[in-house]
A and B are shown apart, each in its own frame.
Chain A
Amino acid sequence: MAELLVKDAEKWFRREDGSPFKVIDRLSFEVRAGSVTVLIGPSGCGKSTLLNSIVGLEKLDRGELLFVNNGTSHERPLIGYVFQSPRLLPWKTVGENIALALKGAGASRSGWDSQVAHYLKLVGLEEYANQFPLYLSGGQRQRVGLARALAVESEVVLMDEPFASVDELTARQLRETTRRLCEQLQRTVLFVTHNLAEAAYMSDFVVTLTRRPASLDEYVTNPLPTPRRWGPEIYNFAAQLENKVTLKEDGD
């Protein structure tokens, strides 16, 4: 199992007039191996920028991103990513979408079919392998995105507000599925959300960020037992998180 270390990360952008502004400021935290670390913070504080930097879509201006596995660090390993919108290729079937990710990951061709079937079964879509994504519901497509991210069997999985674009009932089912799979598969997960109840339910650890430029505000350990269940304690912990985030924003 790998852990992800974010060390003194700093990221700048330029405005349209050319003036620079800082998005991330000396941000350091760890995503412990086999755990779900939830990243919360005010809108536009740089959470997605950090995720994009981790997968190589952006480049940090300063600092390091270390993927440590058994004491050795790796440059840019394969990372599973569940996007806010599923980002499936609409001209490929569900099975082919997952198989392409496996091909990109360098998985042996002989194992594609069984791996696709296995992960589709885990997300409850085993009958949909030959369907085109546009014929599925939004929740089903997001499940396919989840299956794809898990199927590449990367040690680190990123999830960027994966349930933000589906209705609450579907989101609740998806959270349950995702949390169950995280506990079962023991992947190292960095999960970004705006929803505090979701953060309380999904997390083993919670990282709260300050307003832009984002730096570490608090690192909170989720006291709730696993396997996680929806109940009043989730909302109590969410209220505690809300106090932390809101108080800090008020205090600015």
Chain B
Amino acid sequence: MAFEQDHSALLTGARTGVAGAETVPPLGRSGSKEFTSRIVPPLLAVASVIGIWWALYAIYPRLLPSPLSTVQEAIRLLSDGTFFFHMYQSLRRVFVGSLVAMLFSIGVGIYMGTVVMGERFFQPLVVLGLTIPGLMWALIAVMLFGINEFSPYFAVTVTIFPMLVINIWAGVKSLDKELIDMSHVFHFTKRMKITQVILPQLVPNIFAATRYGLGLAWKVVVVVEMFGTSNGVGYQVMKSYQVFNMEGVIAWTLTFVLAMIVIEYGIINFAERRLTAWRPKIDVWRR
């Protein structure tokens, strides 16, 4: 009898639990698992690079400095304040140049994607810009403007501008027409269309362009600093190179990489997560 009652409850979907005593099943991954899955893969990537370096050092000890002595040199740079001064100079050049390029590229990219005449005018210029190496711009900038702050700004801006424009232009080309029509129907102003409808659709393109652009900007700034300034990371690398201080060259490169990691994970990733919080997480490989 009791057995029948139990089953009839199941069949009718009646709840047998006490009200308020409902237990919530585990929803998704726990916080610690999420943290582990986020931290472990990049740490493994770094560890694998160090492992290879150590192995090469073991094979060619006269060619490569040891990871330990290089880290000691990097710690010295960090502790005596040299790093912060020169890194600040390089960062400033990278950011100012990138910011100017980004502002122009968003405007030009949207113009190219929305106005046929704009596309016809800028397309050959952008293609031309893409074919000129950053090193050429670095040389031209120093020759044109001399050893001053304008040279790195100019070199960074003109080097990354075409690549940023290509990304933004491609994004504008794939804008959702239905949303643009909706904004027209509901009488959105031009400003509303740009800020509320077009730019949010370009966020993935802007982030892709930012990542690639910053990487390229660093390279250009280092080259300009090597022969066109009297401070910055590139200048320090050149100084170490001139006295054949391999630890110094690699230590500066490492600190440089460290700064890039901080920017990538501390700023870009954070901003991207904030700006794409509306998008449900997709698990492509789930079974």
Contact = CB atoms under 8 A, between A and B. Distances in A.
Interface in B196-234: 196-197, 200, 203
B200 A100 contact: no
B187 A89 contact: no
* B interface bracket (residues with beta carbon within 8 Å of A): 20 to 34
Interface stretch (B13-21, B56-64, B94-102, B174-182): B174-182
Contacts of A87: 178-179, 181-182
Contacts of A78: 186-187
A57 B184 contact: yes
Contacts of A152: 186
Interface residues of A, number: 24
A90 B189 contact: no
B278 interface: yes
Interface string B166-197: 00000000000011011111111100100011
A101 B186 CA distance: 6
A34 B196 CA distance: 33
A134 interface: yes
A104 B191 CA distance: 11
A192 B143 CA distance: 67
Nearest to A52: B181
A79 B197 contact: no
Contacts of B189: 104
A85 interface: yes
Residue from the set A89, A101, A105, A135 with the largest chain B CB neighbour count within 10 Å: A89
Contacts of B278: 90-92, 132, 134
Interface string A110-149: 0000000000000000000000101100000000000010
B33 interface: no
Given A89-B197, A89-B200, A79 B185 contact: yes
Contacts of A91: 200, 203, 275-276, 278
A104 B192 contact: yes
A83 B179 CA distance: 11
Contacts of A100: 186, 188, 192, 196
6 contacts: A81-B186, A85-B178, A91-B275, A104-B186, A134-B279, A135-B280
Interface of B: 178-179, 181-189, 192, 196-197, 200, 203, 275-280
